[in-house]
Amino acid sequence: MRKVVVNTTPLLVFGNIGRLDILRKLYGTIYIANAVYEEVLEKNDKASATVFSANDWIKVLKIENPKDYAMYSAKLHAGEVETMILAQQKSLQADLVILDDLSARKTAKFLGLTVTGSIGVLIKAKNQGIISEVKPLLDEIIKNGFFVSNKIYDDILRLSGE
């Protein structure tokens, strides 16, 4: 299976709608940086409880060299920075990074990482038959505070054939 590193927001997005299983079904084991784990647990919500209990397939790793922080912009959160550092570590060398923040995604792409976001995960899950429809889950994600513009919403449904 692919080595996949996931940031905080996708864990919260899927955890809060009770569908963290989508990540497990698509990728098997996923890796999160210690800062991501701490950010999720700080939320003290449905997602944090789910992530905390998923230690058989969500692996929390510490970054090997904290000095690597110096390479990153101050506008990124600790979880985003550690996610990218972890993805690049020689001991892991991730195949995919799941990030939602636009600045973080741009930075990850600049670093040569393969990136997707929560919406990309939904579309892939539909394409692989893990979910039958994107729209109900997308609506629930939006209802929980994940922003998607009307244009992007329409594009997502078009891309997913709905």
Per residue in 23-79, pLDDT tens? Answer: 999 999 999 999 999 999 998 888 888 888 888 999 999 998 877 777 776 688 899
Widest CA span of the chain, in angstroms?
46
How high is the pLDDT of residue 119? 96
How high is the pLDDT of residue 1? 75
Cα 68 from chain centre = 21
Q: How far apart are CA 100 and CA 137, in angstroms?
A: 16
How high is the pLDDT of residue 73? 65
Range of the domain at 82: 4-118
Q: In this structure, what CATH number is given to the domain that contains residue 71?
A: 3.40.50.1010
In tens, the pLDDT along 106-148 reads 999 999 999 999 999 999 999 999 999 999 999 999 999 999 9
Residue 113 inside a domain? The answer is yes
Residue 139 inside a domain? The answer is no
Q: How many domains does the chain have?
A: 1
Q: How far apart are CA 162 and CA 157, in angstroms?
A: 5
Q: Which two tokens stand for residue 109?
A: 């792409």
CA atoms within 13 A on the CB side of 111: 25
How high is the pLDDT of residue 49? 84
Q: How far apart are CA 71 and CA 150, in angstroms?
A: 35
Q: What is the DSSP letter of 76?
A: S
How high is the pLDDT of residue 142? 97
Residue 156 inside a domain? The answer is no
Has residue 15 got a pLDDT over 70?
yes
Residue 89 inside a domain? The answer is yes
